[in-house]
C-alpha cells in the first residue's frame, strides 16, 4: 500500500486526497471558496466548505 509522506513535517498519509489537503496547511491555500455575498470564507476541502454552507441555510439540519 502506498503512503504519502509530507516533506515539510514528516506526517504520512494513506491517500493522496488527505495528503493534498494536508499540504494546504503549509501553503495557507484555501481553494474552496464560499460563494455567498459578503462571506469571504474559504476552506481546504470540499467537505469543510459544504459544512460551512449549511450555516447560510435557513433550514437547520439538527434539532436541539
Give pLDDT, residue 28: 85
Residues contacting 32, CB < 8 A, separation 6+ = 42, 43, 44, 45, 46, 48, 49
Q: Would you say residue 64 lies in a domain?
A: no
Using CA atoms, how far residue 39 sits from 14, 42, 45, 52, 58, in Å, is 33, 9, 17, 11, 16
The structural domain count of the chain equals 1
Rounded average pLDDT over 19-26 = 94
CATH code: domain of residue 43: 3.30.160.60
**22 or 58: which leads in pLDDT:** 22
pLDDT at res. 50:
95
The per-residue pLDDT for 62 is 67
Across the chain, mean pLDDT equals: 92
Q: Which domain holds residue 10?
A: 4-56
Amino acid at each position: 500500500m502506498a503512503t504519502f509522506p509530507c516533506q515539510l513535517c514528516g506526517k504520512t498519509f494513506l491517500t493522496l486526497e488527505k495528503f493534498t489537503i494536508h499540504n494546504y496547511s503549509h501553503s495557507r491555500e484555501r481553494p474552496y471558496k464560499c460563494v455567498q455575498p459578503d462571506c469571504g470564507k474559504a476552506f481546504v476541502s470540499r467537505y469543510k466548505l459544504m459544512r460551512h454552507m449549511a450555516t447560510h441555510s435557513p433550514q437547520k439540519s439538527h434539532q436541539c
